[in-house]
Amino acid sequence: MSYYGDLYQNEELSHRAKTVYMYLYDRSDAAGTCWPGVKRIAADLKLSRRTVQRALGDLEQAGLVSRRSRYRPNGSLTSNLYQIAAGKGKSSQSPAKGGL
pLDDT of res. 95:
42
Q: Give per-residue pLDDT as tens, 3-32.
A: 677 778 788 899 999 999 999 999 999 999
Q: What is the mean pLDDT of residues 75-100?
A: 64
Residue 93 has pLDDT above 50, yes or no: no
How high does pLDDT run on average in the chain? Answer: 85
Residue 87 has pLDDT above 70, yes or no: no
What's the pTM? 0.79
Q: How many CB atoms neighbour CB 24 within 10 A?
A: 24
